Structure 1
Amino acid sequence: MAAGGAAGGAGDRYPAGEPDGSGDRDRPGGRDDTARPARRPAAPRETVLRTLSDMSEGFLTVDEAWRISFANREAVRLLGAEPVRPGRSLWQVAAIAAPGLEGQCRRATAEGRPIGFDLTRPLDGRLYFLRLVPVPEGGLGISFVDVTDHRPREDGQPLGVPARERAARMAELTTALAEAVTSKDVVRAVAEHVLPPVAADGLVVETLEGGRIRVVDSVGYAREFLRRIDGIPLTEHTAVADVLRNRTPLFVGSAAEFEKLYPRLKHLSDNSPSRAWAFLPLIVSGRATGSCVISFSEPRTFSEDDRTLLTALSSLVAQALERARLFDVEHTRAQGLQRGLLPRTLPSLPAVTAAARYLPAGRGDEVGGDWYDVIPLSADRVAMVIGDVMGHGITEAATMGRLRTAVRTLADLDMDPDELLTHLSEIVGDLGYDYYATCLYAVFDPVTRICSYALAGHLPPLLVHPDGTVHTPDVDINPPLGAADPPFDVHELRLPEEALLVFCTDGLVESPDRDADQGLTLLRQTLGTAVTRSGYFDPPGTTGPGAGTARLEELCDLVVSTLLPDHAATNDDAALLIAHTRCTPTDDVASCSLPEDPRAAGQAREYVRSQLDVWGLDDLVMSTELLVSELIGNVVRHAGGPIRLRLMRSRSLICEVYDGSLTTPRIRRVGQTDEGGRGLHLVAALSRRWGTRYLADGKCIWTEQDLPHAERELPHEDSHDGPDGV
């Protein structure tokens, strides 16, 4: 049966002409002024077919044997191209093969009159209105339209998502996207506010970067599948690439339809849990920036409302994702700056092995200013520092970097903790009234086993003994840097032969559900239990930490996971520094007092020869004799006060000369005819490094020489991981 015949029998919707093809749309009765039938040329077949093809309703015709003879574009879209191929039986169209359809079709043909009725589509439960129009030559014209959103259920509610509910969903999505900060926030908002109302269960959001399509985040897809689609070039013939190039949405109602459109990608649909897809381009300022793919686990027909809604939503998503991507870029740069300002590794020193963790805020939009450092000083002493610049942002991170650099510079001058914090407070004060920072600076001396520290608005250190006892010093805390007036109080802790010193910022112990005191109590319990149960420390008398760096790293992980189990929900960054301290064995230190006259140099050389012989360092005798002769000669000539010589055997040979003067030794330019002034040049040439530190009653000039054959093996000479422990 021809399509034109179907049109001729379409009743009131498609007016028929006379049997011979004539008809009159101008005059009643179809007669002209002479009362003869008015003849008009029949409409061309192509015009009729074009009209039927462009109908907004689905339309198809069947012959007397119920074989499909014509289907317009909407019918193909709703029912699928293969099921409505000419020659196929109407009863084989699964999309409308609902109970009662055959009976209604036979009834319309038998009665010779149009019949209209509702039909529930088996695939997705949507409701369609079908109109069956018998054709005189035999067969039927069938039109159908989706009325799901316009027919009430038995309970009086619309079958589909009502327009008002969709509008509410749109408003909710708009609000959620406005609050979204990161790209993952955008994906989360889409998953929450878009997928449920359209009964979707899968989502992939992608961006276009450098000519390749990159996955941002997803819902309902396995990692392996995402890996396979990540990075596909825009030039490939894929659904996402096509919608990005054409900037037009693509709705695919079944896997068969997808495979017909993209036969080379059959392996992707086979490995995907989805059976229908909406491929939506994300357009910003006229350019395609990415795509949003919404998928369904069952085949689906997309109604006009579905298409309109999803297309409108994709516009909102595009704008939000573009904002989020800009934030992600800036946030990544800021975090990179912050991590670049923290130590990449921490040194493992004879007296201290340390491990640290830095955790940025989980919810914060900006980076923070928490920081820490471990700094080797002279005579195997170690400086440990931790601080927190108040506030969040690039400026605070940069300020943190400036303070860390300042601390290292001041620490190299061997300043006492109170003096160092005084200078640091002046630096913060110069930044302006809006800048404040907390800081804890500590110096551990492994010979005296004294840890001296000063606080500026910061939590004091915790001391963990080998038996698991955790001691919290009860000290007054000075105001923060930038708000405090010097002097800063100096406190001392006498440490056992081995111990743990634990430093942290308030972000580790404070959280929305607990205050700092509760957090410190939990921290003490965690440390004490961990040390007791793990047997962290070696039996007395052993050298170095028995568990080594690995156990220290494990302890950091335990503390962080216990105090911040839900780090993603935190609003502040946090820093943790744990230092395993060890005292210097007494047989590795030797000292003597010397007279304040020229005899001192000779006695010093004799003492050096004797002690280095005991230590088996005969190769260093000559150079060490020259060093002590020059240093003590300078003291006798230019300084004064009690003179003392101290030798230390460590990873290097340390030679120290103490006197009661505060004069500073300086290397000066020496002329060819000058008789003196070359002593410190000789000291610099013979030493790996040398320097001066000032004491309450004088100063100490020190030198370090490398051991010739690594006579003393000390554990853990390799540095280890810093901020993240990775």
Structure 2
Amino acid sequence: MPGTVGRVPTPATPAPGAATGPGATAAVFAHDWAATALGPRDSWDPALRAVVELILASPMPMALAYGDDLVLLYNDAYAELLGLRHPSALGRPAGDVHAEVWTLPGFGEVAERVYRQGVSFLEKESTALVVRGQSGVAEQMVFTRGHSAVRDGSGRIIGVLTVAAETTHVAEQLQSLSQVAAALAGTLTLDDVARVALRYTITTFDADRVSFVVDEGGGGWRMVRRVRGELLDEVDERLPPLWRRASTDWSGTVAQAVRSGEPSFTGDGQPLRETAADRHDQKVRSLAVLPLGTSVVQGGLTVGYQVPHAWSAAERALLAASAELIGQAAERARRFETQHGTAQLLQRSMLPENLPDLPRLRVAARYDPGVDGNAAGGDFYDAFLLPTGDLGVVLGDVAGHDVQAAARMGQVRAALRALALSDPAPDAVLAGLDRLVTSLGAEAGTHELFVTVVFGVIDAQRRELTLASAGHPAPLIRRCTPDGRSYAEYVDVPAGPPLGLGGRPATTTVAFPPGDTLLLFSDGVVERRRQSLTAGLDALGDAVAKAGSSDPRALCAVATASVPGGTEDDVAVLAVEHALKPSRSAAMEVPAEPTAPSRVRHWMTGQLTEWQVAESVIGAAVLCTSELTTNALLHAGTAARVEIDLSPERLLVSVADSGTRGTVTRARTDTLSSRGRGLGLIEELSDAWGTDPSVRGNTVWFEILVPPTEQH
């Protein structure tokens, strides 16, 4: 009658009748029972003798508590639970052997009641502190125990038979079920759900193969699996799973279970013979298939072993509960992805799909949605050529995080471009916008339409920049000195009131020579809770000044990561570099074919060699580009476009896909290398990298600085 609290792994149990382990069987026969209430063995009642034989032959922990003193007699499996208390426990009262717990509720009183009243008692679960073997190390175990009265030939109660079933493993599985529920609560996408589901099932059920399958809703099925022994490091766990795809008429075991809505359990056979993809599938002999049980996401979960396996009732119930939890999480994820995709599409469709590609003015932008990325916001940017040949640049913020804010943003952006094409003077453009916002506010019946914007005109010939601001943060310019040093300064432009208040902003003209880079940004870049705006502006200026290059794409990434801490606001950045010299560029369209990465490597090596780029730069760039191309083909499942741009100071490479599976950030590397090495390669071999979501998909880029000694 083990007692106290805790749980440990299942102890080894002896074969029936064998005197193994602590040797309880041999000790029983050698013990002097004449000195106990049982009396000499040769005088035992036949019924008692039969019970003792049953106990000694059983592989389950069993004990007999005999007589009024409940004297103990037990088998090898029970002796292992007693640990160092065996063999001295033989022939002693149970209350003395288990003195530390005997008086606790559910222990001694249960044995006494069964002995006095003859009523059987099943204790569904209890915990016990067990000293295993002769080691003296106490471990904790979970048991289900049954107690029943033992009668002699005349029907008189002579003792209590206790059978202990060790259920530690089941208890651990139930505990892991609560842990997976907590993990699933934090998932947002189906990729997140798949990662948690696979990690949980293969660990909890100690399986050889597990899989997670979802129906794409008319677009076929996709499945992801894990097999025992797969080496997954910390980076792999953050990466998107490698989904396999199947047609809508797929007849796999999971599809059959999903269509019928009924789970299936194979104890021994070849359940994956017809659909096996490789030897891991072929070796599966026992398989459990559970439909997710949700109307929104049709899918299933499988757990398989390479040996025959009897699926117990407890396991089936646990699997069913697991599939239900995973199904609920998948349902939430599908809804989130749908809403997220709609909001992102709305947001991106109102931003320029392409920015001007000029020989001396390089333009880049970055937009990161605030809140949880599940709502459209009001930040916007634009860059466009004016009739004068100059470049117009703008960045603004319409208050709000809803569809209405995004719609107003689209109206303001379109009106600004129209006004600028008519009269590009920044103060005139913002005055016209002020009238538009006033009209929009009156139409909506609100005076709370809050819009800030900064608009500028870059005259590359005159090497100057003219700006006007309506309540927006002052732009930042990264200046480069002739000796190669850099510093950052904010443009002293009068902020003026936000649009809609009847103001006419003043303009400021500053020098903008080759080598300088202009940075426009929204307040989400620098504002943080419990931190002054001045601290945010200082951090941004310091980060831009210390950046490795003046490349606009790299500076956008530097700017968005310059102020520590998270923000719930949208983040928008627009950067324009006045290049010292025109850069050279080339592009390649990459088809969604297995040979595409090798074709990209060949093309890129030839192009960079023709441009006389140093071999060290070529090797690093080709390796990183190959990884990004492979990633785009695997995870977006679409064709890609590779672009390279070489300036005297850096090589910039970008790989754009047209998928819609989300974006990559340093905290969430969801589109880098399926093999877990892509992120390490990019960070190790490049000087800067980042990702830019666009209307059509995502772009991942990296930059490698070209030292002066390596320029040709």
TM-score of the superposed pair, with normalisation by structure 1: 0.51
Letter in 1 for 2:505: F
Report the alpha carbon displacement of residue 311 of structure 1 after superposing the two structures with TM.
0.8
Match of 1:477 among 495, 503, 507: 495
| Number of the residue aligned with 1:436 | 450
Q: Deviations over 1:447-504 (max 9, x none)?
A: 544422122232211122222121113444234334x331223233233355211112
Report the CA distance shift for 1:576/1:218 in structure 2 as closer, same or farther (over 3 A): farther
Report the CA distance shift for 1:273/1:349 in structure 2 as closer, same or farther (over 3 A): farther
Report the alpha carbon displacement of residue 528 of structure 1 after superposing the two structures with TM.
2.4
Match of 1:525 among 538, 542, 546: 542
**Partners in 2 of 1:230 and 1:328 — Cα distance?**
19
| Number of the residue aligned with 1:707 | none
TM-score of the superposed pair, with normalisation by structure 2: 0.52
**Partners in 2 of 1:288 and 1:499 — Cα distance?**
52
Which runs of 5 or more residues in structure 2 are unaligned?
1-9, 27-48, 62-76, 79-122, 131-138, 143-165, 582-653, 657-691, 701-712
- Contact 2:536-2:563 within 8 A present in 1 as well: no
| Number of the residue aligned with 2:222 | 214
Report the alpha carbon displacement of residue 372 of structure 1 after superposing the two structures with TM.
1.0
- Contact 2:220-2:248 within 8 A present in 1 as well: yes
- Contact 2:521-2:573 within 8 A present in 1 as well: yes
Which runs of 5 or more residues in structure 1 are unaligned?
1-94, 121-126, 129-146, 537-550, 585-719
Match of 2:571 among 531, 551, 574: 574
Letter in 2 for 1:282: L
Matches within 5 A, 1:147-546: 152=128, 154=130, 155=139, 157-158=141-142, 159-160=166-167, 180-187=187-194, 190=197, 204-209=211-216, 210=218, 212-215=220-223, 230-233=244-247, 235-251=249-265, 257=268, 260-268=270-278, 270=280, 278-285=288-295, 289-293=298-302, 302-349=311-358, 352-361=361-370, 363-429=372-438, 430-431=440-441, 432=444, 433=446, 434-467=448-481, 468-482=486-500, 484-511=501-528, 516-530=533-547, 534=549
RMSD: 4.9
Letter in 1 for 2:221: I
- Contact 1:213-1:233 within 8 A present in 2 as well: yes
- Tell me the SS of whatever aligns to 2:328: helix
Q: Deviations over 1:625-660 (max 9, x none)?
A: xxxxxxxxxxxxxxxxxxxxxxxxxxxxxxxxxxxx
| Number of the residue aligned with 1:62 | none
- Tell me the SS of whatever aligns to 2:467: strand
Report the CA distance shift for 1:512/1:178 in structure 2 as closer, same or farther (over 3 A): same
- Contact 1:463-1:470 within 8 A present in 2 as well: yes
Letter in 1 for 2:379: D
Report the CA distance shift for 1:189/1:507 in structure 2 as closer, same or farther (over 3 A): farther
- Contact 1:364-1:572 within 8 A present in 2 as well: no
- Contact 2:290-2:300 within 8 A present in 1 as well: yes
Report the alpha carbon displacement of residue 179 of structure 1 after superposing the two structures with TM.
6.3
- Contact 2:198-2:212 within 8 A present in 1 as well: no
Report the alpha carbon displacement of residue 394 of structure 1 after superposing the two structures with TM.
2.8
- Contact 1:407-1:420 within 8 A present in 2 as well: yes
Report the CA distance shift for 1:522/1:412 in structure 2 as closer, same or farther (over 3 A): same
| Number of the residue aligned with 1:553 | 553
Report the alpha carbon displacement of residue 281 of structure 1 after superposing the two structures with TM.
0.6
- Contact 2:493-2:507 within 8 A present in 1 as well: no
Q: Compare 150-159 and 345-354 and name the one that shifted more.
A: 150-159
Report the alpha carbon displacement of residue 270 of structure 1 after superposing the two structures with TM.
1.9
Match of 1:117 among 53, 58, 61: 58
Letter in 1 for 2:18: G
| Number of the residue aligned with 2:708 | none
**Partners in 2 of 1:226 and 1:494 — Cα distance?**
46
Report the CA distance shift for 1:505/1:269 in structure 2 as closer, same or farther (over 3 A): farther
Report the CA distance shift for 1:300/1:405 in structure 2 as closer, same or farther (over 3 A): farther
- Contact 1:449-1:583 within 8 A present in 2 as well: no
- Contact 1:359-1:575 within 8 A present in 2 as well: yes
- Contact 1:201-1:295 within 8 A present in 2 as well: yes
Report the CA distance shift for 1:362/1:290 in structure 2 as closer, same or farther (over 3 A): farther
| Number of the residue aligned with 1:103 | 18
Report the alpha carbon displacement of residue 178 of structure 1 after superposing the two structures with TM.
6.0
Report the alpha carbon displacement of residue 325 of structure 1 after superposing the two structures with TM.
0.9
Report the alpha carbon displacement of residue 329 of structure 1 after superposing the two structures with TM.
1.5
Letter in 1 for 2:428: E
What fraction of aligned residue pairs are identical, expressed as a percent? 29
**Partners in 2 of 1:478 and 1:576 — Cα distance?**
21
Report the CA distance shift for 1:186/1:260 in structure 2 as closer, same or farther (over 3 A): closer
Report the alpha carbon displacement of residue 384 of structure 1 after superposing the two structures with TM.
0.5
- Contact 2:464-2:513 within 8 A present in 1 as well: no
Report the CA distance shift for 1:277/1:370 in structure 2 as closer, same or farther (over 3 A): farther
**Partners in 2 of 1:511 and 1:200 — Cα distance?**
46
- Tell me the SS of whatever aligns to 2:406: helix
Report the alpha carbon displacement of residue 245 of structure 1 after superposing the two structures with TM.
2.6
Report the alpha carbon displacement of residue 298 of structure 1 after superposing the two structures with TM.
9.3
- Tell me the SS of whatever aligns to 1:398: helix
Q: Compare 147-156 and 415-424 and name the one that shifted more.
A: 147-156
- Contact 2:391-2:458 within 8 A present in 1 as well: yes
Q: Deviations over 1:541-581 (max 9, x none)?
A: xxxxxxxxxx4434444545x53899xx6533322211123
**Partners in 1 of 2:253 and 2:539 — Cα distance?**
54
- Residue correspondences, number: 447
Report the CA distance shift for 1:291/1:342 in structure 2 as closer, same or farther (over 3 A): same
Matches within 5 A, 1:64-103: 99-101=14-16, 103=18
Report the CA distance shift for 1:203/1:339 in structure 2 as closer, same or farther (over 3 A): farther
Report the alpha carbon displacement of residue 417 of structure 1 after superposing the two structures with TM.
1.9
Report the alpha carbon displacement of residue 243 of structure 1 after superposing the two structures with TM.
1.8
- Tell me the SS of whatever aligns to 2:335: helix
- Contact 1:446-1:582 within 8 A present in 2 as well: no
- Contact 1:276-1:296 within 8 A present in 2 as well: yes
Matches within 5 A, 1:18-29: none
Q: Deviations over 1:419-439 (max 9, x none)?
A: 322332343341443532321
- Tell me the SS of whatever aligns to 1:373: strand
Report the CA distance shift for 1:230/1:188 in structure 2 as closer, same or farther (over 3 A): closer
Letter in 2 for 1:318: G
**Partners in 1 of 2:391 and 2:477 — Cα distance?**
16
Report the alpha carbon displacement of residue 413 of structure 1 after superposing the two structures with TM.
1.1
Structure whose alpha-carbon radius of gyration is higher:
1
Report the CA distance shift for 1:366/1:196 in structure 2 as closer, same or farther (over 3 A): farther
Report the CA distance shift for 1:168/1:570 in structure 2 as closer, same or farther (over 3 A): farther
**Partners in 2 of 1:161 and 1:490 — Cα distance?**
75
- Contact 2:415-2:433 within 8 A present in 1 as well: yes
- Contact 2:470-2:495 within 8 A present in 1 as well: yes
